[in-house]
């Protein structure tokens, strides 16, 4: 993962956070995963990076979305 990529995860306090990979603090916080993902997605689109969405129960990645950093030669 590049440093400009983002993660959406649930903190120990139950708050959902959207954080850039190399940041110390979250860029986005909210009470639902959906609202945090939507705001974080906009940041990722501007940075042409990727968003990894983590599950709230075990923090494993459940989905990834890429915005503009895919190789040009990929098929499909």
pLDDT of residue 68: 82
DSSP string, 40-74: HHHHHHHHT-EEEEEPTTT--EEEEEESS-S-TT-
Return per-residue pLDDT of the chain as tens, 76 residues.
Answer: 467 999 999 999 999 999 999 999 999 999 999 999 999 999 999 999 999 999 999 999 999 999 986 666 666 5
CA pair distance 34, 40, nearest whole angstrom: 10
Contact 19, 29 (CB under 8 A): no
Q: What's this model's pTM, rounded to 2 decimal places?
A: 0.86
């Amino acid at each position: 993962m590049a440093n400009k990529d983002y993660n959406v995860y649930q903190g120990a306090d139950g708050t959902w956070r959207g954080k850039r990979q190399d940041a110390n603090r979250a860029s986005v916080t909210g009470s639902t995963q959906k609202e945090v993902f939507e705001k974080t997605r906009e940041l990722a689109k501007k940075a042409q990076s990727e968003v990894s969405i983590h599950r709230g129960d075990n923090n494993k990645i459940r989905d990834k979305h890429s915005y503009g950093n895919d190789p040009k030669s990929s098929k499909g």
